[in-house]
């Protein structure tokens, strides 16, 4: 059990999960709600021949050209401890082998998937799909400085053209009071089609590089059912931690003003650096939750623009949704 507020015991996270032999999730339920539809977390391989711009384009009808994957090793339990359980499954073709390790943890409802792909395909696209039983109203994808909310319907030509969109560290299938978050550590393409939302994992283009991406790849993604709005579930913070884990520095004593900026839950500290003139310390702060407010700092500093030229001295930082702030303090 995990510690709750004021030192009280909080109930441990609990959910039920049913895995298919191919590693897909046929049921993912928590608090009486079902999150997964048939084919959730299933791999899909497609022919991928976009034409002139081989390495840059994906055609909108790629789902009509699916290539079957062979189940090489059915799902099996490979590790079981009090803290973690691991299942391993392998699929592939005559040329490639994709092994997935599916991890369940004692203290969280998140499911992590580690992928090791020995990839030797030609003109193929590998995706993992996330069809859901939730009534999803929109797709939230993060950017370098916040997030974008997109509708999932295809009522206009613009919406029809968004069959593949970009995402940095996470995307959320948002059903307002519930949702599904998918964190990734380096896969940035998200498919939005009639069959649902998918994460693009690998391609094998031949122009400009005829051996593009051939070889062994290792990467992870994590799936988490959400029982509240995604910002209330700290999805942006979890995504940042997943991509940039904490590094322990023995004996490091941060100044109080730096601890205040780093620990503030609104800001993402994008950079801490010396100023171009070498006289000050520069903080690049990004508001990532779409909120407005202000914080009073423990130390007065100077608000600058992006070229680090001083604008005004202040001890109160006001911020607007998705604003990038440059703040400097003298040594």
Report the phi/psi class of residue 23: left, alpha or beta, with left for phi > 0 and alpha for psi in -120 to 50.
left
Could you tell me if 210 and 172 are in contact, meaning their C-beta atoms sit under 8 angstroms apart?
Answer: no
Q: What is the largest CA-CA distance in the chain?
A: 65
CA gap 262, 264 in Å, rounded: 6
Order of strands across the sheet that contains 124-129: 66-67, 42-47, 124-129, 196-203, 189-193, 164-166
| CA distance to 17, 36, 134, 198, per residue, from 29 (Å) | 7, 8, 11, 20
Q: How many residues does the chain have?
A: 331
Give the pLDDT confidence score for residue 19 in this predicted structure: 97
Burial (CB count within 10 angstroms: exposed 0-12, middle 13-18, buried 19+), residue 51: exposed
Could you tell me if 41 and 196 are in contact, meaning their C-beta atoms sit under 8 angstroms apart?
Answer: no
**Which residue, among 85, 116, 117, has the nearest Cα to 15 in the 3D structure?**
85
Give the pLDDT confidence score for residue 4 in this predicted structure: 37
Please report, in tens digits, the pLDDT of each residue of the chain (331 residues total): 333 344 333 444 578 999 999 999 999 998 888 999 999 999 999 999 998 888 899 999 999 999 999 999 999 999 999 999 999 999 999 999 999 999 999 988 899 999 999 999 999 999 999 999 898 989 999 998 889 999 998 889 988 899 999 999 999 999 888 999 999 999 999 999 888 899 999 999 988 888 989 999 999 999 999 999 898 898 988 998 899 877 766 655 666 766 666 666 677 888 888 999 888 889 898 888 888 998 888 888 899 998 999 999 998 989 999 999 999 988 7
Secondary structure of residue 159 in the 3-state scheme: helix
Each as own residue / partner, the long-range contacts of residues 46-53 (CB below 8 Å, 24 or more positions apart, any chain) are 46/124, 46/125, 46/127, 47/123, 47/124, 47/125, 48/123, 48/124, 48/125, 48/203, 48/204, 48/205, 49/123
Nearby residues of 120 by Cβ (< 8 Å), 6 or more positions away? 95, 96, 204, 214, 215
| Residue 258 phi, psi (nearest 5) | -70, -40
- Cα dihedral across residues 211, 212, 218, 222: positive or negative: negative
- Would you give the end-to-end CA distance of the chain in angstroms? 45
Could you tell me if 117 and 127 are in contact, meaning their C-beta atoms sit under 8 angstroms apart?
Answer: no
CA gap 62, 123 in Å, rounded: 11
CB atoms within 10 A of CB 97: 17
Bond from prior residue into 279 cis (ω within 30 degrees of 0): no
For 137-154, b where at least 16 C-beta lie within 10 A, e where not — what string? ebbbbbeeebbeebebee
Could you tell me if 45 and 70 are in contact, meaning their C-beta atoms sit under 8 angstroms apart?
Answer: no
Tokens read off for 178: 């519930």
Burial (CB count within 10 angstroms: exposed 0-12, middle 13-18, buried 19+), residue 83: exposed
């Amino acid at each position: 059990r995990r510690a709750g507020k004021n030192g009280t015991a909080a109930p441990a996270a609990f959910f039920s999960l049913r895995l298919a032999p191919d590693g897909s999730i046929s049921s993912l339920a928590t608090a009486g709600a079902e999150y997964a539809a048939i084919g959730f977390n299933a791999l899909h391989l497609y022919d991928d021949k976009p034409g002139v711009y081989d390495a840059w384009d994906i055609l909108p009808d790629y789902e009509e050209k699916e290539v079957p994957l062979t189940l090489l090793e059915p799902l099996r339990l490979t590790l079981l401890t009090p803290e973690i359980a691991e299942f391993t499954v392998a699929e592939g073709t005559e040329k490639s082998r994709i092994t997935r390790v599916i991890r369940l943890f004692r203290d969280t409802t998140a499911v992590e998937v580690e992928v090791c792909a020995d990839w030797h395909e030609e003109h193929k696209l590998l995706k993992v799909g996330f069809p859901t039983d939730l009534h999803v109203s929109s797709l939230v994808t993060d950017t370098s400085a916040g997030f974008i909310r997109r509708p999932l319907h295809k009522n206009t030509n613009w919406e029809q053209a968004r069959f593949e969109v970009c995402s940095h560290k996470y995307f959320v299938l948002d059903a307002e009071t519930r949702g599904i978050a998918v964190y990734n550590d380096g896969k940035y393409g998200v498919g939005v089609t009639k069959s649902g939302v998918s994460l693009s994992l690998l391609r094998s283009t031949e122009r400009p590089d005829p051996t593009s991406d051939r070889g062994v790849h290792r990467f992870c993604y994590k799936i988490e059912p959400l029982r509240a709005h995604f910002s209330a579930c700290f999805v942006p913070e979890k995504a940042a931690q997943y991509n940039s884990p904490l590094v322990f520095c023995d004996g490091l004593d941060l100044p109080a003003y730096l601890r205040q900026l780093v620990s503030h839950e609104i800001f993402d500290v994008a950079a801490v650096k010396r100023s171009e003139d070498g006289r000050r310390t520069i903080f690049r702060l990004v508001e990532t939750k779409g909120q407005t407010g202000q914080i009073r700092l423990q130390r007065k500093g100077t608000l600058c623009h992006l070229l680090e030229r001083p604008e005004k001295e202040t001890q109160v930082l006001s911020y607007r949704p998705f604003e990038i702030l440059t703040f400097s303090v003298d040594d």
